[in-house]
């Protein structure tokens, strides 16, 4: 029995332009599903199905087959039934499994489990779904609860199954028969239809611009080398949060702060120091991007910041001039010109300029990072 994997990839998209070619973390969206499908042992052949020849280039680069979809099946008016039947009629096989490229977080294990279910012979059509275990309404009417009865906890509700869209599968023979008899087969027709539950990140489907932002953040988190520990708010800790950088700097004794002239193509640190002088504390932001910021801070001996920590962000400093005392989790360390200090998120620290002259450091963090301070004012 020949099992064919088909990845549909239309070039046109109404809501997100060219979404299948959109770059995420350095590679096109379409590549993620291709790479995952190639890890599976359940397919005899893998096809990329598109009307656009740019996807043939991608298929060739990945060593998979390409099916040139007729243009009439690549419009907003064409139906899923039509384009699936076109593929079935032109690519030999017994079972077709469709994997959507807009679900880049689906795993090879999930795809293989899905394939095993359709290949067991129990179903003619298999559809991936997501269980929604919450009160649901359809056409202004309750679906899985009674308005006249006490509402049960959501965990006790009967789940409502919604299409997860990532995976669909059909037996060729049944699909053809349903199309011939009803003109539709995509949702199962007269055959035996099964529903395969997907959970968690596999159900995230890119359909809107906001979905891309969500996927990018998830992937960044997955690829991070930083260990993430689960943290909980403890009301006994008596802490408060500050985010506004200018206010934080002023509370730390820096009254002269230039935070609005960042991102010059070339900056000279010596010139910035000469412009601001060495007789009073000051700061100057030199870099401000979506991912980080860099700020030069100068303080006199005895000055510094208040003890704090960052719950969700690492930061680091380069010592430009002078000496600093770094207190990290109660342990004091002396750093000097040329040193780099790295601070892992969650570690409490306090910085104080020491010596006889002004001390200057370059702080690399982000402008919107939360600073968590103890309530006591003497720290």
Assigned domain for 58 exists: yes
Maximum Cα interatomic distance, the chain, rounded to a whole number of Å:
91
SS3 state of residue 198 = coil
Q: Are residues 172 and 265 in the same domain?
A: no
Question: Do both 208 and 271 map to the same domain?
Answer: no
118/265 same-domain check:
no
Composition of the chain by helix, strand, coil, percent to 5: 25, 30, 45
Domain assignment present for 229: no
Same-domain status, 38 and 159 = yes
Q: Considering the domain boundaries, does residue 30 fall inside one?
A: yes
Domain boundary among 177, 194, 223: 223
- Number of Cβ within a 10 Å radius of residue 333: 12
181 with 190: CB under 8 angstroms? yes
Same domain, 195 and 64: yes
Burial string for 71-101 (b: 16+ CB within 10 Å, else e) reads: eebbeeebeebbbbbbbbeebebebbbbbbb
What angle, rounded to 10 degrees, do the helices at 172-182 and 80-90 form? 130
> Are residues 90 and 123 both part of a single domain?
yes
pTM here?
0.64
**Per-residue tokens: 22:** 């959109």
Report the CATH number that the domain containing residue 61 is assigned in CATH: 3.90.550.10
pLDDT at residue 291 in the model: 87
| SS3 call for 234 | coil
Residue 184 lies in a domain: yes
Give the pair of three-digit tokens for residue 361.
Answer: 């450091």
Do 285 and 153 share a structural domain? no
**Helix and strand totals (H; E) in the chain:** 8, 22
Nearest to 96 by CA among 152, 170, 38, 193: 170
Residue 377's pLDDT is 46
Residue 98 forms beta bridges with which residues?
Answer: 6, 168
Q: What's residue 314's pLDDT?
A: 94
Q: Are residues 215 and 250 in the same domain?
A: no
Range of the domain at 260: 238-374
Does residue 152 fall inside a structural domain?
yes
Split into its structural domains, the chain has a count of 2
pLDDT value of position 157: 86
Between CA 65 and CA 47 the distance in angstroms is 5
Domain boundary among 223, 248, 265: 223
Q: What is the rounded CA–CA span in Å between residue 179 and residue 82?
A: 9
Query: What does the pLDDT read at residue 152?
Result: 82
Are residues 242 and 219 part of one domain?
no
In angstroms, rounded to a whole number, what is the distance separating the alpha carbons of residues 26 and 28? 7
Regarding whether 301 and 255 lie in a shared domain, the answer is yes
Identify the CATH number of the domain in which residue 315 sits.
2.60.120.10
Which regions of the chain are under pLDDT 70?
Answer: 224-229, 231-237, 376-379
Q: How far is CA 261 from the centre of its chain?
A: 30
243 and 219 in one domain?
A: no
Same domain, 50 and 173: yes
Tell me the chain's radius of gyration from C-alpha atoms. 29
């Amino acid at each position: 029995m020949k099992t064919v994997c088909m990845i549909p990839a239309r070039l046109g998209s109404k809501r997100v332009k060219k979404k299948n070619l959109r770059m995420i973390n350095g590679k096109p969206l379409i590549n993620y599903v291709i790479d995952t499908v190639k890890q599976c042992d359940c397919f005899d052949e893998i096809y990329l199905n598109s009307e656009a020849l740019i996807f043939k280039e991608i298929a060739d680069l990945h060593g998979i087959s390409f099916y040139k979809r007729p243009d009439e099946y690549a419009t907003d008016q064409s139906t899923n039934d039509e384009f699936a039947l076109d593929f079935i009629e032109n690519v030999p096989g017994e079972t077709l499994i469709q994997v959507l490229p807009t679900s880049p977080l689906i795993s090879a294990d999930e795809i293989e489990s899905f394939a095993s279910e359709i290949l067991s012979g129990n179903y003619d059509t298999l559809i991936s779904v997501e269980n929604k275990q919450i009160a649901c309404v359809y056409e202004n009417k309750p679906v899985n609860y009674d308005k006249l009865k006490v509402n049960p906890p959501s965990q006790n509700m009967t789940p409502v199954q919604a299409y997860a869209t990532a995976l669909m599968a059909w037996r060729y023979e049944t699909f053809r028969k349903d199309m011939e008899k009803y003109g539709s087969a995509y949702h199962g027709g007269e055959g035996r239809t099964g529903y395969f539950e997907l959970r968690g990140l596999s159900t995230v489907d890119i359909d809107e611009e906001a979905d891309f932002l969500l996927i990018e953040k998830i992937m960044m988190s997955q690829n991070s080398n930083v260990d993430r520990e689960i943290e909980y708010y403890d009301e006994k800790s008596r802490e408060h949060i500050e985010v506004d950088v200018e206010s934080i700097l002023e509370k730390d004794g820096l009254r002269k702060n230039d935070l609005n002239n960042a991102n010059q193509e070339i900056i000279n640190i010596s010139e910035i120091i000469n412009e601001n002088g060495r007789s009073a504390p000051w700061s100057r932001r030199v870099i401000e991007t979506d991912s980080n910021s860099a700020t030069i801070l100068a303080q006199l001996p005895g000055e510094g910041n208040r003890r704090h920590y960052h719950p969700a962000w690492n930061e680091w400093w380069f010592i430009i001039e002078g000496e600093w005392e770094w207190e990290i989790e109660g342990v004091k360390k002396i750093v000097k010109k040329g040193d780099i200090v790295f601070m892992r998120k969650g570690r409490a620290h306090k910085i104080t300029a020491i010596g006889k002259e002004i001390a200057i450091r370059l702080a690399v963090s982000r402008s919107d990072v939360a600073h968590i301070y103890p309530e006591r004012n003497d720290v």
